[in-house]
Structure 1
Amino acid sequence: MGLPVMLIAAVLACAPVAIDGDTLRCGRERIRLIGIDAPELPGHCRRGRKCVPGDAQASKRSLQAALRGRATIRRFGFDRYGRTLASVAIGGNDLSCHQLRAGAAAYVARWDTGGTVRRECGR
């Protein structure tokens, strides 16, 4: 059968905004893209954690530039911060794949729920 009515309404009403290079906000919902890790914004890389190198602002701009059109969201659950773990595509363009192609994020196999990003992006 199709998507539940509430989910369809949320997708149609949502205009996603990039929070950083791997996280979106859709209304009140925070969405963490699966399978990737982007550079952290200043002050967000906790001591003792190995963070992805790179320009966090450029990564965020790359993700924001891809947010043109209706988002299709496949939800897989929640992370420890309460964010929705999801695969998000706009116009058939998977956003995790977009970030990987742009060099704005790194692939992380252990965060790739069901190998979704590996399949979608050819990793």
Structure 2
Amino acid sequence: MPTVAAIVCFSAFACMPQKVVVVDGDTIIVRGERIRIEGINAPELKGKCHEESVLARRARSRLMELIEAAKIDIERNGSDRYRRTLASVTVGGSAVGDVLMREGLARKWVQHYNGQQEPWCQADVGQALKAWN
């Protein structure tokens, strides 16, 4: 898995240079802690279609660009069903999840949805994303 260097802040007083493993477009690992970016869902690397896999690699690459050599703030907010830490991740005051959603590389995460298909394999991904976001 790709690794980048960043200054990681888990609180205003605890900022340290760290290696950050970027698992995919919505999950990172810092000091062994798996952190799921709260509020988004990115396409899967082993997607249901070729387009999803391509978008997943783009989302992971973009997340790497956003956090590489940056000061990132991580605010923990519980954990998910897979025991990953849920957290807000910001760089320069901007939530990285919001950046990925604006760029069409993630969708809004919802706990309960009405059976909508994931947008990644639909003919018009942009229109499908609008239905989610």
Give the deviation of 1:14 after TM superposition: 2.9
Give the deviation of 1:70 after TM superposition: 1.3
Q: What amino acid maps onto 2:39 in structure 1? A: G
Q: What amino acid maps onto 1:25 in structure 2? A: I
Moved more, 53-62 or 77-86: 53-62
**What is the CA deviation profile of residues 27-53 of structure 1, one whole-angstrom value per residue up to 9, with x for unaligned ones?**
21111001111110116x6xxxxxxx4
| Equivalent position of 2:93 in the other structure | 92
Q: What amino acid maps onto 2:43 in structure 1? A: P
Q: What amino acid maps onto 1:40 in structure 2? A: E
The aligned length equals 98
RMSD, aligned CA? 2.3
| Equivalent position of 1:30 in the other structure | 34
Q: Distance in 1 between matches of 2:19 and 2:94?
A: 16
SS at match of 1:57: helix
The structure that has the greater radius of gyration is 2
Q: What amino acid maps onto 2:24 in structure 1? A: D
Give the % identical residues. 37
Q: Distance in 1 between matches of 2:35 and 2:76?
A: 9
Q: What amino acid maps onto 1:59 in structure 2? A: A
Q: Show the 5 A alignment for 1:1-123.
A: 7=11, 8-9=13-14, 11-42=15-46, 53=52, 55-68=55-68, 69-110=70-111
SS at match of 1:110: coil
Q: Distance in 1 between matches of 2:33 and 2:67?
A: 16
Segments of structure 1 that go 5 or more residues without pairing to the other structure are 1-5, 46-52, 112-122
Moved more, 53-62 or 98-107: 53-62
Higher strand share: 2
Q: Distance in 1 between matches of 2:57 and 2:23?
A: 10
Give the deviation of 1:98 after TM superposition: 1.2
